């Protein structure tokens, strides 16, 4: 049975047209789902009983459940159980500018980045559109606050679930839906070049973040297998094309790993790599886990790396750390089998 949250505004209009009905009923259903946040078809009180009966026969609604919530300062981590009993996680972060939710797009991940906890479980499957949307709906219900920003940076590689990702963006961006502005949505990829090329031709002004984490092929090959397929020079040429096409700034995520990619030479090489690009670097102190041997860069080296980039006139920030006490920080999410 199809989930109703898999359907876009246009999909619902077309559904009713194909049933020989008026398309405005699709508009009504869409608004019930996202404006009034009903959790059953019976709550759609302006629809006739036969229409409600049809929807109940052909669609299901909520299928994921919150299994566990862990809290830290300004952070909540959610463990969800899916209909097939697989697990995913999402993280709510409270910022001065609003509430940001980091959502997952896959159960497991096939990218195999050596420093990332999420990739220790190989991809089981892609998330469906509704499973991404329901993460937002259920977190808003739980915390009683509106999600103002969504970052697609949780478990999984979003561009490895590209079609569902784009449908998700269409629905949450729609003015009669969750109504998240394009610039309040950020999608992260480790660098699947063909999908970046597709993404640049879409009408959405969604933010793009690149998990770079190394200034050259030698280091990136060591820690990110995707680089063997799309080396840095190909990735950077594509991103320059993206910037020219979209006139949008690109964010480079750079996790600092002790004695791996945190040297002065790496900082200077990184500055040269992005010089002249409309971008900024987001430096991320590594969040250690029990299962991975990489170590956190020393505070002195983080500051030194930052200063070198600044001196080279590169826009750079050091990411504020969230949720490491509850394994909710960058690179720590995983598809748990246990509660």
Domain 65-326 is found in CATH 3.30.160.270: no
What letter would DSSP give residue 161? G
* Digit-coded pLDDT (tens) for 134-157: 999 999 999 999 999 999 999 999
At 310 the three-state DSSP class reads helix
Q: Which residues pair with 285 in a beta bridge?
A: 256
Query: What is the C-alpha to C-alpha distance for residues 308 and 122, in angstroms, rounded to an integer?
Result: 37
The tens digit of pLDDT for each residue in 26-84 reads: 999 999 999 999 999 999 999 999 999 999 999 999 999 999 999 988 899 999 999 99
Q: Is 330 a catalytic residue?
A: yes
Q: Give the CATH fold of the 2-60 domain.
A: DNA polymerase; domain 1 (1.10.150)
SS3 state at 7: coil
Q: Where are the domains of the chain?
A: 2-60, 65-326
Q: Is 102 a catalytic residue?
A: no
329 pLDDT higher than 60:
no
- How many Å separate Cα 195 from the centre of its chain? 15
Please give the Cα distance from 30 to 156 (Å, whole number). 28
Q: Mean pLDDT over residues 210-229, rounded?
A: 98
| Sign of the Cα pseudo-torsion (134, 137, 141, 146, in order) | positive
* Catalytic annotation, pick one of 13, 86, 89, 134: 89
253-279 pLDDT, tens digit each = 999 999 999 999 999 999 999 999 999
Pairing verdict, β 98-102 and 149-152: parallel
Residue 321 confidence class, pLDDT cut points 50, 70, 90: low
3-state secondary structure string across 66-122: EEEEEEECCEEEEEEECCCCCEEEEEEEEECCEEEEECCCEECCCCCCCCCCHHHCC
Radius of gyration over every alpha carbon of the chain, rounded to an integer in angstroms? 21
**One of 102, 113, 116, 330 is an active-site residue; which one?**
330
Please write the tens of the pLDDT for every residue from 69-118: 999 888 999 999 999 999 999 999 998 888 999 999 999 999 999 998 87
* pLDDT tier at 328, thresholds 50, 70, 90: very low
């Amino acid at each position: 049975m199809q989930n109703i949250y898999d359907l876009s505004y246009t999909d619902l209009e077309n559904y009713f047209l194909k049933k020989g009905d008026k398309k405005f009923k699709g508009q009504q259903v869409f608004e019930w789902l996202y404006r009034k946040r009903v959790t059953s078809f019976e709550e759609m009180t302006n629809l006739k009983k036969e229409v409600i009966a049809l929807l109940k026969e052909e669609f299901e609604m909520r299928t994921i459940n919150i299994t566990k919530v862990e809290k830290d300062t300004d952070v909540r981590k959610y463990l969800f159980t899916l209909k097939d009993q697989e697990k995913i996680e999402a993280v709510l972060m409270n910022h001065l500018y609003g509430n940001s939710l980091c959502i997952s797009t896959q159960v497991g991940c096939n990218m195999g980045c050596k420093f990332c906890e999420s990739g220790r479980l190989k991809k089981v499957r892609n998330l469906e559109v509704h499973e991404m949307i329901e993460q937002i709906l259920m977190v808003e219900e739980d915390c009683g606050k509106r999600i103002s920003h969504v970052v697609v940076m949780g478990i999984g590689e979003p561009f490895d679930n590209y079609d569902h990702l784009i449908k998700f963006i269409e629905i949450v961006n729609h003015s009669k839906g969750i109504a998240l502005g394009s610039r309040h949505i950020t999608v992260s990829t480790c660098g699947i070049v063909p999908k970046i090329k597709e993404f640049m031709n879409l009408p959405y002004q969604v933010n793009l973040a690149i998990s770079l984490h190394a200034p050259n092929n030698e280091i990136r090959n060591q820690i990110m297998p995707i680089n063997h397929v799309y080396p840095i020079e190909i990735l950077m040429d594509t991103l320059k094309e993206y910037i020219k096409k979209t006139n949008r700034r690109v964010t480079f995520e750079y996790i600092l790993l002790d004695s791996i990619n945190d040297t002065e030479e790496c900082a200077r090489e990184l500055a040269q790599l992005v010089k002249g690009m409309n971008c900024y670097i987001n430096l991320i102190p590594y969040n250690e886990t029990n299962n991975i041997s990489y170590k956190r860069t020393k505070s002195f080296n983080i500051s030194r790396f930052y200063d070198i980039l600044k001196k080279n006139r590169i826009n750079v920030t050091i990411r504020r750390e969230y949720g490491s006490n509850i394994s909710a920080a960058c690179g720590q999410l995983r598809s748990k089998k246990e509660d």
